[in-house]
Amino acid sequence: MLYLVPTPIGNLADITFRAVAVLKSADLIVAEDTRTSSVLLNHYGISKPLSPYHQHNEHKVAEHLATQMMAGKTIALLTDAGTPGISDPAYLLVQACIKNNIEVQCLPGATAFVPALVNSGLPMDHFCFEGFLPLKKGRQTFFKKMAEEQRTMIFYESPMRLLRTLKDLITYLGEDRLCCVSRELTKKFEENKRGTLQTVFEHFSAKPVKGEIVIVVAGKS
């Protein structure tokens, strides 16, 4: 069978007892980045065969892994941080398992957008998760669509593109739209900056930006 195992988004203590037990019992662990996952596995004393599974090899590897599971192996899938399948290539492997009647179990655990949404102070009864934004093609169309969205919106972004994205959000949604930018969640220098798009833009314009970014923006009134 296939286990999808959420991993800490920062603090290595944020992993469940069940997740550790599953990783210790799996025949093979496949990971988005074996170097990143090795740090976590070594921290918990887990020594298992480790193979890469990422967006550059997913089509080639998915069927091969499915064949191993059909032969009786239990595989645990890890992403760099958070829950496999959320803005990473787990989807194809899950589809391959379903196609071949292989059991799939997803363990509950860390996902970066959930704490970012909860601590944003913005409405949580209805929200939409958009993941990473388009870099070029369709970007303008995307922001025009988001300008009409009434639900709270959640985006992932890199620190290098944060200011550009905030500027685009100001252009299409208006400088007074409320938002919260969370970075380095669960880590020592965690920061959650709340305010209007304009004030948050000015805040991050005044200093270098580091760490993984989650942007939460209020929907249209």
* Complete DSSP assignment for 35-88: HHHHHHHHHTT----EEE--TTTHHHHHHHHHHHHHTT--EEEE-SSB-TTSSS
- As annotated, the residues of the chain forming the CATH 3.40.1010.10 domain(s) are 2-106
Please report the pLDDT score of residue 103 as a whole number: 97
Measured at the CA of 166, the angle between CA 122 and CA 84, to 5 degrees, comes to 65
Give the model confidence (pLDDT) of 77-95 as tens digits: 999 899 998 877 788 899 9
- Paired with 216 in beta bridges are 154, 180
CA 57 to chain centre: 19
pTM, full prediction: 0.91
Give the model confidence (pLDDT) of 153-171 as tens digits: 999 999 999 999 999 999 9
Give the model confidence (pLDDT) of 55-81 as tens digits: 677 777 888 999 999 999 999 999 989
Residue 120 has pLDDT above 90, yes or no: yes
Please report the pLDDT score of residue 152 as a whole number: 98
Residue 202 has pLDDT above 90, yes or no: yes
Please provide residue 211's backbone torsions phi and psi, each rounded to the nearest 5 degrees.
90, 165
- pLDDT mean over 202-215: 94
Tell me the pLDDT band of 5, cut-offs 50, 70 and 90.
very high
Indicate the average pLDDT of the chain.
94
79-101 burial: b if 16+ Cβ within 10 Å, else e: bbbbbbbbbbbbebbbebbeeee
Please provide residue 212's backbone torsions phi and psi, each rounded to the nearest 5 degrees.
-70, 145
Please report the pLDDT score of residue 57 as a whole number: 73
Cα–Cα dist 88/142, whole Å? 20
Match domain 113-217 to its CATH number in 3.30.950.10, 3.90.230.10, 3.40.50.720, 3.40.630.30.
3.30.950.10
CATH number of 2-106: 3.40.1010.10
